[in-house]
C-alpha cells in the first residue's frame, strides 16, 4: 500500500512539473511570436489557441496507446525536453536565414501542444492502478493546474526578467527531462525490454540539453544580430520589453522590441521639436513631467531652461532608465541628464502614476513607443489624456509623440481627435528625422485655441537656447502639412473600452516606409 501511495504521488509530482513546463512553453512561444511577428494581442491569442487545440488532439491520440503507457509517457517527456529546450534557439537560428519564423513558431506550438495533450491522459491511466477513479481524476487535474499557476508566476517574475529567452526554455527542457528520469528510476522494473532504448534516449537528450545550454548564448546572439544591419553592442530581454543597442562607426541606435527609438546620428531632430515647442510656448515652466523618455534625451533638452525647478521622469522599465544613467554612449548623448539633481526617476506605469500623483505640472511631455499594441494604446487613450488634463496647471501644455503622419495617417489623426475629446486644443506638428522618416507630434493646450497656438509656434524664437537644428525658420514650417499619402476617412476616438488606435497603427501604409 505504501509503495502504491508513493508511486501515485510521484506521478502527480511529475504532472505538476509538466503543468508548469507546459504553460511556460506557451508563454515563451507567444513572446517569441510577438517579438518576431508583432501585434502582441494577435500572437498571444493565436499561439495559446493553437496549443490548446493541439492539446485536444494529443488527448485524442492518447486513446491509441493501449499498452506500455509508462514507456510512452517517458518518451513524450524526452521529446518535450528537446522541443521546449530548443524552441528559442530554433527560432533565432532560423531568423538568420529566413523571414518565415512564424511558420516555425506555430509548428512548435502544435508539436508541444500535442505532447502536453498526451501527458494528462497517460498519467491518469497509469495512476488508475493506485487510486480510485474519483480521486484519480480530481487529483491529477489539480496538480496540473497548480503547476500551471506556478509556471505563470515563474515566467513573469523569474524566467523572462532574469533568465530571458536564452535560458528559460532550457529550464523547461530540464524540467521535463528530470520528470522522465524520476519516472524511469521509480518504475524501471515495469519497463521490461524498453529500458535499454529509454536509457540511450535519455543519455542522448541529456547531452543535447547540455550542449544547447553551452552554445545557447552565441546562437541567440547570432540570430539577434541578423535582425539588425549594425553590430549589436547591448541586448537584454527585460520583464517588459527587449532592449537592443547597435553601433555603426561612432553612432548608436536604440531599439525596443525591434523598433527604433533613437539614433545618436540625428536624435535631436526628434527631441528638439518634442521639447522646445512646448517649452518655448511656456519658457517659465517650473515643474515638468516626462512620461517615457528613459534614454534621457528629452530631459537633456528640458534642462536647458534655467527656470525649470524639477523634472519628474516616469518610465516603466528600470533597465531602460539604468541605461540612460549608466550606459556610456547614452550618458554621453544625454549629457548626464538622468543623473542631474533636478531629475527624479520613477519606474512605474504612467497611467497609475497620473491616477495617484497629487501634484500638478506646467508641462507634460509624452515620449512613449508607438501605439502598436493595446497595452501601449492605453497610454494614448481619452481616459489617459483626461488624467493629463487634470494634472496640468492652469496654463499648462502637453505634447506627445504621435508616429508618422504619412505612413500611419489614421493613427496620427486618431491621437489628435482623442486629445481633443479630452478637452485639449491641439496643434499637429511634424519634422523630417533622417533615420525615422517624417515624424509627428500633437501639442495641446488647455485654454488657448488652435489658431492662437499655431500662430505662437510660428513665431517662436530660440535665441537664448542652444539647439542643433530647431530655430525660428523651422518653426514657420513645422505646423504645415502637405496632402496625405493615403485617403483617410473619419477616425474614432481611442478609448480603453474601444481601443481602435493600435488597429489604425497596424493598418498604416508601412510598405512605403
> Worst-scoring range by mean pLDDT, 278-292, 303-317, 355-369, 459-473?
459-473
Segment 5-41, tens digit of pLDDT: 578 888 888 888 888 988 999 999 998 898 888 778 8
Tell me what the mean pLDDT of segment 252-262 comes to.
Answer: 92
Give the number of C-alpha atoms closer than 13 A to the C-alpha of residue 413, restricted to the C-beta side.
17
Give residue 2's pLDDT band: very low, low, confident or very high (50, 70, 90). very low
Segment 222-233, tens digit of pLDDT: 777 877 889 999
Number of Cβ within 10 Å of residue 278's Cβ equals 26
Give residue 1's pLDDT band: very low, low, confident or very high (50, 70, 90). very low
Q: Which residues contact 145 (CB under 8 A, 6 or more apart)?
A: 19
What is residue 49's three-state secondary structure?
Answer: helix
Tell me what the mean pLDDT of segment 147-161 comes to.
Answer: 90
Measured CA to CA, the distance from residue 411 to residue 440 in angstroms comes to: 11
What is residue 396's three-state secondary structure?
Answer: strand
- Predicted local distance difference test score (pLDDT) of residue 188: 83
Measured CA to CA, the distance from residue 326 to residue 336 in angstroms comes to: 9
Give the number of C-alpha atoms closer than 13 A to the C-alpha of residue 342, restricted to the C-beta side.
21
Give residue 290's pLDDT band: very low, low, confident or very high (50, 70, 90). very high
Interhelix angle 2-37/40-61, rounded to 10 degrees, is 140
Interhelix angle 164-187/87-95, rounded to 10 degrees, is 140
Tell me what the mean pLDDT of segment 365-378 comes to.
Answer: 92
269 exposure class (CB count in 10 Å sphere: 0-12, 13-18, 19+): buried
- Please, are residues 405 and 412 in contact by the beta-carbon 8 Å criterion? yes
- Please, are residues 367 and 290 in contact by the beta-carbon 8 Å criterion? yes
Asked if the model's pLDDT at residue 120 lies above 80, the reply is: yes
Q: Which of 502, 457, 494 is nearest to 478 (CA)?
A: 457
Segment 409-466, tens digit of pLDDT: 999 999 999 999 999 999 999 999 999 989 999 999 988 788 889 999 988 988 889 9
The DSSP H or E segment spanning 272 is helix 268-281
> Worst-scoring range by mean pLDDT, 92-96, 116-120, 171-175, 375-379?
92-96
% of the chain residues with pLDDT over 70: 98
Measured CA to CA, the distance from residue 219 to residue 96 in angstroms comes to: 10
Q: E-strand spans in 333-435?
A: 343-346, 361-367, 392-401, 425-433
Segment 308-350, tens digit of pLDDT: 999 999 999 999 999 999 999 999 999 999 999 999 999 999 9
Average pLDDT, the chain: 90
Q: Which of 84, 105, 90, 97 is nearest to 31 (CA)?
A: 105
Sign of CA dihedral 98, 100, 103, 105: positive
- Predicted local distance difference test score (pLDDT) of residue 3: 44
Active-site residue, 251 included:
no
Measured CA to CA, the distance from residue 49 to residue 33 in angstroms comes to: 13
Number of Cβ within 10 Å of residue 474's Cβ equals 17
- Predicted local distance difference test score (pLDDT) of residue 314: 98
Measured CA to CA, the distance from residue 51 to residue 28 in angstroms comes to: 12
pTM of the model: 0.84
> Worst-scoring range by mean pLDDT, 72-76, 153-157, 374-378, 448-452?
448-452
Number of Cβ within 10 Å of residue 200's Cβ equals 10
- Predicted local distance difference test score (pLDDT) of residue 511: 54
Catalytic residue, chosen from 367, 370, 416, 489, is 367
Q: Which residues contact 281 (CB under 8 A, 6 or more apart)?
A: 397, 445, 453, 456, 457, 460
Domains with residue ranges and CATH for the chain: 2-226 (1.20.1250.20), 231-260 (no CATH), 264-512 (3.40.50.150)
Asked if the model's pLDDT at residue 47 lies above 70, the reply is: yes
Asked if the model's pLDDT at residue 161 lies above 70, the reply is: yes
Taking every pair of Cα atoms in the chain, the longest distance, rounded to a whole number of angstroms, is: 90
- Predicted local distance difference test score (pLDDT) of residue 487: 75
Highest mean pLDDT, choosing among 148-157, 257-266, 304-313, 483-492: 304-313
- Predicted local distance difference test score (pLDDT) of residue 257: 84
Amino acid at each position: 500500500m505504501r509503495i502504491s501511495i508513493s508511486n501515485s504521488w510521484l506521478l502527480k509530482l511529475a504532472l505538476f512539473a509538466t503543468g508548469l513546463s507546459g504553460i511556460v512553453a506557451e508563454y515563451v512561444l507567444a513572446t517569441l511570436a510577438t517579438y518576431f511577428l508583432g501585434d502582441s494581442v494577435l500572437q498571444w491569442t493565436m499561439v495559446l489557441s493553437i496549443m490548446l487545440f493541439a492539446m485536444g488532439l494529443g488527448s485524442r491520440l492518447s486513446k491509441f496507446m493501449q499498452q506500455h503507457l509508462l514507456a510512452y509517457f517517458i518518451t513524450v517527456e524526452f521529446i518535450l525536453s528537446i522541443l521546449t529546450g530548443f524552441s528559442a534557439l530554433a527560432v533565432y537560428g532560423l531568423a538568420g536565414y529566413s523571414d518565415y519564423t512564424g511558420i516555425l513558431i506555430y509548428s512548435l506550438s502544435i508539436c508541444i501542444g500535442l505532447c502536453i495533450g498526451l501527458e494528462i491522459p497517460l498519467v491518469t491511466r497509469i495512476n488508475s492502478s493506485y487510486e480510485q477513479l474519483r480521486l484519480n481524476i480530481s487529483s491529477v487535474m489539480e496538480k496540473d493546474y497548480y503547476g500551471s499557476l506556478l509556471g505563470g508566476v515563474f515566467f513573469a517574475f523569474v524566467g523572462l526578467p532574469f533568465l530571458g529567452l536564452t535560458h528559460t526554455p532550457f529550464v523547461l527542457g530540464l524540467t521535463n527531462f528530470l520528470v522522465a528520469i524520476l519516472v524511469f528510476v521509480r518504475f524501471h522494473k515495469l519497463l521490461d525490454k524498453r529500458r535499454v532504448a529509454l536509457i540511450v534516449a535519455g543519455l542522448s537528450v541529456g547531452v543535447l540539453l547540455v550542449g544547447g545550454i553551452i552554445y545557447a548564448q552565441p546562437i541567440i546572439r547570432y540570430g539577434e544580430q541578423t535582425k539588425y544591419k549594425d553590430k549589436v553592442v547591448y541586448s537584454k530581454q527585460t520583464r517588459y520589453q527587449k532592449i537592443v543597442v547597435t553601433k555603426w562607426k561612432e553612432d548608436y541606435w536604440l531599439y525596443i522590441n525591434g523598433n527604433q527609438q533613437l539614433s545618436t546620428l540625428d536624435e535631436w531632430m526628434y527631441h528638439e521639436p518634442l521639447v522646445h515647442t512646448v517649452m518655448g510656448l511656456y519658457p517659465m515652466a517650473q515643474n515638468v513631467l516626462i512620461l517615457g523618455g528613459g534614454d534621457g534625451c528629452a530631459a537633456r533638452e528640458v534642462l536647458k531652461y534655467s527656470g525649470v525647478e524639477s523634472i519628474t521622469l516616469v518610465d516603466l522599465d528600470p533597465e531602460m532608465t539604468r541605461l540612460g544613467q549608466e550606459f556610456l554612449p547614452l550618458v554621453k548623448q544625454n549629457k548626464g541628464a538622468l543623473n542631474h539633481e533636478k531629475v527624479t526617476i520613477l519606474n512605474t506605469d504612467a497611467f497609475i502614476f497620473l491616477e495617484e500623483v497629487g501634484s500638478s505640472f506646467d508641462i507634460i511631455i509624452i515620449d512613449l513607443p508607438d501605439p502598436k499594441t493595446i497595452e501601449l494604446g492605453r497610454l494614448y487613450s481619452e481616459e489617459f489624456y483626461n488624467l493629463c488634463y487634470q494634472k496640468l496647471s492652469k496654463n499648462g501644455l502637453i505634447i506627445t509623440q504621435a508616429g508618422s503622419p504619412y505612413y500611419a495617417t489614421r493613427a496620427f489623426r486618431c491621437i489628435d481627435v482623442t486629445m481633443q475629446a479630452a478637452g485639449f486644443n491641439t496643434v499637429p506638428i511634424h519634422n523630417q528625422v533622417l533615420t525615422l522618416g517624417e515624424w509627428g507630434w500633437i501639442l495641446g493646450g488647455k485654454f488657448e485655441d488652435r489658431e492662437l497656438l499655431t500662430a505662437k509656434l510660428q513665431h517662436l524664437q530660440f535665441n537664448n537656447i542652444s539647439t542643433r537644428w530647431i530655430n525660428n525658420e523651422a518653426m514657420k514650417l513645422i505646423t504645415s502639412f502637405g496632402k496625405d499619402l493615403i485617403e483617410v476617412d473619419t477616425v474614432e476616438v481611442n478609448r480603453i473600452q474601444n481601443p481602435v488606435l493600435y488597429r489604425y497603427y497596424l493598418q498604416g501604409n508601412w510598405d512605403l516606409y
